[in-house]
Amino acid sequence: MSVLTKRSRMLSIRMSDAEYHQLQAICEVRGARSISDLAREAMQRIAAMPPDDEPGDTLAERVGQLDRRLNLLQQEVLRLSSLINRHNGDHS
């Protein structure tokens, strides 16, 4: 959305001091002009998502899912390795 686009609607939300300060810090890091610009950008990203995407499916959640899957895979590899070692030990 262009900066020159007339914005005639207003959205008001309440947040804690900690939430507000966190958003201020994010603005500084991302170079956003204001918390309003940051919030607008975030809402536009959510609005642009396909309907079947889960907005809560963040990168951190995806990494967590992958980590859990890798742990399960590692456990299975260790289990299979142990079975192979036992089987080879019986034939020595």
pLDDT band at 63 (very low <50, low <70, confident <90, very high): confident
* Mean pLDDT score, 18-39: 90
Q: What is the pLDDT of residues 69-82, one digit of tens each?
A: 998 999 989 888 88
Give the separation between CA 30 and CA 38, rounded to whole angstroms. 9
What DSSP string runs through 26-83?
HHHHHT-S-HHHHHHHHHHHHHHS-TTS-TT--HHHHHHHHHHHHHHHHHHHHHHHHH
Mean of the per-residue pLDDT values of the chain: 83
Q: What is the pTM of this model?
A: 0.48
Give the separation between CA 5 and CA 56, rounded to whole angstroms. 30
So where are the chain's domains? Answer: 14-51, 56-92
